[in-house]
Structure 1
């Protein structure tokens, strides 16, 4: 005899596929913002796949995000993209 699939608290059996959590949303404008504040804002909008880049061309690592300002972002603000898409913030140090 075969055992029936177990039900979960939601009433679905264990074989039900899990839907992707990624949604399509508009990318907020982060240009001109403090790098740390921009990251926090993107995460508040559901974007967690974030990448950062030194936009001065020096290839530095952004060790203290609060010391940097966003000068460019990709994809552009207002673009409708999946929340799983990588958002790149290109920043320069305030002292540059």
Structure 2
């Protein structure tokens, strides 16, 4: 009897996307993973809990996982962001 083996989980290295707008960061992850990772989340770093509706208006300050870390399609990716036009990264 042949026991099927699962394919190895594919992984990627998290790029440094700090300073990019949120839309560009999301696009970069999708391009890097060939859309295997399509969804990323984001958090307002000011603590005000604002939603990021227009992603181009938000600048990436941090990422989880951190730049250089390995991630898979099952890794939750979160970008810490502030408004591009009026705020600086903490």
Instruction: Compute the TM-score of the two structures, normalised by the length of structure 1.
Output: 0.73
Change (3 A) 1:20 1:89: farther
Deviation of 1:45 (Å): 1.1
Secondary structure in 1 aligned to 2:27? helix
RMSD across aligned positions (CA): 2.1
Name the residue aligned to 2:76.
86
Consecutive aligned runs of 4 or more in structure 1 exceeding 6 Å deviation: none
Gaps of 5+ in 1: 1-16
Q: Which of structures 1 and 2 has the bigger CA Rg?
A: 1
Structure 2 regions of 5+ residues with no counterpart?
none
Q: TM-score, normalised by structure 2?
A: 0.78
Secondary structure, in 3 states, of the residue corresponding to 2:29? Answer: helix
Structure 1 residue 21 displacement after superposition:
8.4
